[in-house]
Amino acid sequence: MKRVLITGANSGIGRATAIHLAAEGYEVFGAMRRLDRGEKVIDGAKQAGGVFHPVTLDVNDEASVVSAARAIEDNGGPIDILINNAGVAHNACVEDVDIEAAKRVFETNYWGVIRCTQAFLPGMRGRRTGQIINISSVAGRIAAIGQAIYASSKWALECLSENLAQEVAPFGVRVILIEPGVTRTAILAKNVDVPQPTEYGDAYRRMLQFYARGIEANVQADVVARQVLTAIEDPAKRLRYACAWGGVELAEGRKRLRDEDWIALGRYDQDEDYFDAFERAFELDIRPRT
């Protein structure tokens, strides 16, 4: 039975993935900052008939990560798969960025991944086998309007993952990037705050409209969980797997789009003109429902 650790396992994609992998026969260690918030994932894994161990782990605290790694290794040995899922969202155009708040985004979305990788990679490297799965975002492939810091943290994660994939290849360790589009979770529905006052109302309105249409599509976190399992077991051993609403369309559309055309999207004064251009570029209709 392969042993998996997933961070941020108490909610959203993390919870869905933990339950799904437990149901599929993996021994899952579900990491979260507070175990008293893990009732749903614990109950879900139990109902699925899987093996699930709740673990206290704060990706922002090196001592917490190291302590959790030692506890897990003492409970049966090193893990086979690390899923770096814990992450936070953040809305801001560059001029509106609160730098201290932005640093906290990178603390979780970037440095947290490095802390966990440093703690759990040695066990994989020593056995010449293992997988590290980083839950990125389609925002790691496209500069998400109104989300400069969040998207930057995911771009940084994409670079980190490409570097890591080369570094650990000689040791038989595989790196995987999961790049979800919009997935309907409780966190997403609450992420509607934007800086005020601001000169960038158009950007925020269009960003929130994009997510509103994604929420309407009602793609559940289970879709991402199934993609994670597919990636783990994929004999093709690809690096990237896009999924959920808009994931494939945005990544592929940006590859086709010239930089000049990307910049031109920001010049539209009227929302309807912007929505028309967006659909031509990415084959996604994000207009408000009438």
Separation CA 81–CA 173 (nearest Å): 10
Burial of 218 (0-12, 13-18, 19+ CB in 10 A): exposed
Nearest one of 269, 246, 14, 275 to 142, comparing CA atoms:
246
Evaluate whether 85 touches 7 at the Cβ level (below 8 Å): yes
Put residue 114 in one of left, alpha, beta given phi > 0 → left and psi -120 to 50 → alpha.
Answer: alpha
Look up 150 and say whether it is catalytic: yes
- Integer CA distances (angstroms), 158 to 4, 39, 98, 154, 176, in order: 21, 32, 23, 6, 10
Separation CA 98–CA 110 (nearest Å): 18
Structure tokens at 288: 């408000």
Distance of CA 27 to the CA centre of its chain: 21
Structure tokens at 71: 């506890």
Active-site pick, 26, 150, 204, 241: 150
Cβ neighbours of 84 (radius 10 Å): 28
Structure tokens at 76: 């049966």
Residues with a catalytic annotation lie at 150
